[in-house]
Structure 1
């Protein structure tokens, strides 16, 4: 077996050579490291109804993952509920039971003695409101009968009924939601919240949702009232929904024509988090790459603490990189964006993304085995500098590849790094479909190479670099071709030597605006409803004024610099949306060493521009800081300060 221009004999399958060439003439490989690789899906599951997608402040109404898939036609249904996978429908005051696998059979009408006008379920019980506004309950129907028991009454004009967290929830015709505790004795109703235009209310026992006459689906959040989580977009959600239904198997809806739909996430099902664990003796470092737009530092730090507790790996030895795809669910706080993007869905962030990170690293630890590492570099002309007005703006088109050559495996794991935004100008369904964009397609293409077992992507310094091709699949093909070309050349350099790691911080004074200037800025932008940029500026001003009032204005704007030395290969990870010149500048510090530079590491709380962006007033150097809710832009010498800090520490 010949790799990288040198012969290397694996023990497996090669022992027969001993008898031919003699023991002393065979040179067995010395494996420098123990390496493990893990990968876990971070696709949202059916326990999440819909998620806002990150990366774009437009359209104003938001981009959401919900897609309705038709399951069958039920006819003129006025209400419905599910218990243990069984669907109960209300038609003409009668409750029927529907076998979801046999729609053509229609509903089996249950025997009952009440005229029912509203229906819901909770705690494995069926609840109803009859014609006299009496609230009824029944255990799951058996033998074709429903036996109702009165539990209370309603004085309001009811429009929809639900059951949430041990309480009845009633929506009246004025859009007011009322709640009453589910307990023995007379029910006492209390107003909870108003939802203008609401036509239905639904609970999955964790969250409370409302459907409006504008075909918006809203989630109730006590600290912020209602937040939009889906809206009719004419593509994945174009139905005229009248009812929402939650069950243990997910979410359902009925339209006015009686068609039943099941909720799905519009996705290409490629979102992953990858983990590479490299160990030599007692030193080990973990490199994590996740298909998300970005992370907040507090989330990453919490994950690193859990990693230290679970795996014994120092936080300074864990690098978390975001691919920055603009087609993943929101995973960080965008406090000056529309309300639907201001906070990530906690279920997705913690039970999917965080759990995925831990699972990928757990796989990597379990699979640790002897391996050699190789590094190589090629060039992929996939992007362009989108902002700087110069005739020849900077762009680092390097594409770095790390190959893991295992002692006992015939295929290799690879890590590839390129600096370019995953923001292909998709339209139609692609714009509202969960996707890692070109990195995901490139990974899939690389799996067709006979030498590649798995592929993991790291985002480089692509803050001001956009793809030159509109179709992300074209970009992916270029990336994959460049990687496979490098693998096939056999010229990659072996990585040899000890492991060291460092995590440094460069602090910049936040230099917040004076209060009077903030108020003037707010006044200049208010009253422009529908103008996304002006609305963002008002939210930014309100956020800054709130920080002043509460004494919570950030005093500094930190930039984190993480350095991994794995033998003769140096990986530098920089926080924030790092622009391309940082990659070029950091590599120039060590011209005779193989240095890879990843941006988007550990904290993506703003852009990291250079004085060129700041002086030119480009998006990266000015307006983006308002989108990120930062106190101010960086000083003009930010680039020089960071590069000099890296140079002087010489990690």
Structure 2
């Protein structure tokens, strides 16, 4: 483990090494078809395109972070990019420009007013031979167009800076309405939405805008006519390029699989939503943006995403007679696959990509039509203010439902799979597998499972931050800033003191009296959770935390929780505590130091409890107590019984004049004894930094 000071110093050194080294370039190429083509997205269309409202583009933003390897984001005004097109493009980008696969992100705006391209939604359309030929030719030319845009961006690389911010606009509406007969495609006012407008602004060394990369989580489906168009996203790009002459505006689609622009179906509305989105971006640019620097850390993986069990040959043959023409087409294609390969696929190679810019911005790119739950979940598990979540990237293979949407069914959960050529819906682990890959690629360590002896041994000595985190002048005890600082400093768990508010809510606060930590009278028990949320720790902007807020931050940072629950709590209080731990999947990574029978009774089976001699325990327990009172022989005897040994080294346990020396002596003695970890005050962090 590195101490907070050491980690900050290393971060500053890394930033210095890359500050001023960033070079940025942008390029573009027209991809508007030269002849009428079948348009993508709607099965109801009966004829090819007839003209255009504006051109369609592929654009590229290239970064040189001084590492010697370029990174590039590609955008396209298309309904999707297939795995085949992405692979062909990536191969050429690496061989011709030296951009490795993990540092090339290829995205689609998902406009439903663009041409059909292989192999996206190809089962939706009834195409004649001429349209098949035009689609094949258009698809074959796409890598060349993308390479043209990339080459322009490389040729224009010049020193520059990046700024990051998040805006807001609200024309996206959840489209999964609940009815007695199931989910239908109609406005759902209570469904989840993501109205963030992430913006990455690239400027030259003189401060002039070079490019604006921005996104929004909403289907690009205002229009359904026969004129080629980028839909609202195309109009938003035009809006920004008119507002900032010489700037390249690049749009990426967020997790909008279950979001529609409502109302819709007119050019005027498409222009209106484009202007709304453009203004949201301009508001961000006009405000104070957060500086973003290198190095760029990139990771890419294709995971075997499991599908539901495949139908039998007999079931497929029966589907050839189905009244639904799309099911007939799919059955015919699947029978051909069965004849050629002997079996249908059980999994699909699903792409996940994560970029991190220095220690700040994280950019996550998911394949397919991911629903809003994914972005909301990522912004819960990682600091929301640093997340740029993109979908429709690297392979638009199908809708990607969350487990909730999968269980609810409907178009996004099941019915759309026929158009994408899959035999059935995804299997239940879809969300779990994707998010596990995101965490892995982001280098995020999951909270340690305290019941797993191998896991705790691998991280020995476990370090637990006393008083809610790494405490300092700007990081008061039990604050979110202290939790974040503990994660940076490399702690494994934080101790959270919980008290019950007047209305029965679990609040993170150490002392019985609010003052002097907070400029307020009374105690936590004298105020409601809402009243407490309005209070700030003295001299800071840090609010008093509800346990749910603290647990969410711990989950984001990969920290476990040591609970210190103050006496006199209600049954509802404990139900809420347990509910929070369940919601953030933190029960295996949590323990409780309290020995009171009523507390142990409520928490038994939910978190790890302290060891009690002569008590029958239902699982692994831990010893917790003052380090000075623990002998090496006792520690080894406890460990021989499978008991986790966690002594506490706190300033209040020692004489103030000799605490540093006494604490060090205890730590050295018990480290030699091989104890499993320590709960420590932040003042001892530098010493323990050398032991991790």
TM range (shorter): 0.5 to 0.7
Q: Distance in 2 between matches of 1:36 and 1:564?
A: 18
Q: Distance in 2 between matches of 1:623 and 1:547?
A: 21
**What does residue 204 of structure 2 align with?**
406
**What does residue 33 of structure 1 align with?**
22
**What does residue 234 of structure 2 align with?**
440
Instruction: Output one character per residue of 1:58-85: Cα deviation in whole Å (capped at 9) or x when no partner.
Output: 13xx34124xxxxxxxxxxxxxxxxxxx
**What does residue 466 of structure 1 align with?**
260
SS of the aligned residue for 1:507 comes to strand
Q: 1:476 to 1:455 in 2, by over 3 A?
A: same
Q: Distance in 1 between matches of 2:248 and 2:229?
A: 18
**What does residue 538 of structure 2 align with?**
none
Instruction: Output one character per residue of 1:468-527: Cα deviation in whole Å (capped at 9) or x when no partner.
Output: 2322111111101111111112x110002311110012212333112222233333x14x
Q: Distance in 2 between matches of 1:425 and 1:554?
A: 35
Deviation at 1:30, TM superposition (A): 5.4
Query: Which is helix-richer, 1 or 2?
Result: 2
Aligned residue pair count: 405
Confirm or deny that 1:590 pairs with 2:359.
no
Partner residue of 1:295 out of 77, 81, 84: 81
Unmatched tracts of structure 1, length 5 or more:
1-28, 67-265, 527-533
The answer to whether the 8 A contact 1:331-1:344 is kept is no
The answer to whether the 8 A contact 1:446-1:452 is kept is no
Instruction: Output one character per residue of 1:376-398: Cα deviation in whole Å (capped at 9) or x when no partner.
Output: 00111021111152762111111
**What does residue 143 of structure 1 align with?**
none
**What does residue 57 of structure 2 align with?**
272
Q: Distance in 2 between matches of 1:641 and 1:344?
A: 38
**What does residue 318 of structure 2 align with?**
520
**What does residue 403 of structure 2 align with?**
611
Q: Distance in 1 between matches of 2:145 and 2:384?
A: 37
Counterpart mapping for 1:414-425 below 5 A:
414-425=212-223
**What does residue 537 of structure 1 align with?**
327
Q: 1:541 to 1:344 in 2, by over 3 A?
A: farther
**What does residue 377 of structure 1 align with?**
166
Partner residue of 1:642 out of 431, 434, 437: 434
Query: Which is strand-richer, 1 or 2?
Result: 1
**What does residue 305 of structure 2 align with?**
508
The answer to whether the 8 A contact 2:214-2:252 is kept is yes
Deviation at 1:452, TM superposition (A): 6.5
SS of the aligned residue for 1:633 comes to coil
Instruction: Output one character per residue of 1:414-443: Cα deviation in whole Å (capped at 9) or x when no partner.
Output: 1111111110144xxxx0000001111111
Counterpart mapping for 1:181-580 below 5 A:
266-281=51-66, 282-333=68-119, 334-340=121-127, 345-351=135-141, 353-389=142-178, 392-408=190-206, 410-426=208-224, 431-450=225-244, 453-470=247-264, 471-489=269-287, 491-510=288-307, 511-523=309-321, 525-526=322-323, 534-551=324-341, 553-567=344-358, 568-580=360-372
Q: Distance in 1 between matches of 2:254 and 2:204?
A: 26
Q: Distance in 2 between matches of 1:425 and 1:649?
A: 37
Deviation at 1:321, TM superposition (A): 0.2
The answer to whether the 8 A contact 2:62-2:157 is kept is yes
Instruction: Output one character per residue of 1:233-289: Cα deviation in whole Å (capped at 9) or x when no partner.
Output: xxxxxxxxxxxxxxxxxxxxxxxxxxxxxxxxx012320111000111113210000
TM-score in terms of structure 1 length: 0.60
Q: Distance in 2 between matches of 1:493 and 1:502?
A: 23
Q: Distance in 2 between matches of 1:476 and 1:416?
A: 12
Counterpart mapping for 1:113-132 below 5 A:
none
SS of the aligned residue for 2:306 comes to coil
The answer to whether the 8 A contact 2:320-2:328 is kept is yes
**What does residue 65 of structure 1 align with?**
49
SS of the aligned residue for 2:242 comes to coil
Deviation at 1:313, TM superposition (A): 0.8
**What does residue 52 of structure 1 align with?**
38
The answer to whether the 8 A contact 1:388-1:618 is kept is no
Instruction: Output one character per residue of 1:531-565: Cα deviation in whole Å (capped at 9) or x when no partner.
Output: xxx11011111111111111263342222101111
The answer to whether the 8 A contact 1:32-1:280 is kept is yes
Confirm or deny that 1:624 pairs with 2:416.
yes
SS of the aligned residue for 1:278 comes to strand
By relative contact order (CA 8 Å, sep 6+), the higher-ranking structure is 1
Unmatched tracts of structure 2, length 5 or more:
1-17, 179-187, 444-692
Deviation at 1:648, TM superposition (A): 4.1
Deviation at 1:409, TM superposition (A): 6.4
Supply the RMSD in Å over aligned alpha carbons: 2.1
SS of the aligned residue for 1:58 comes to coil
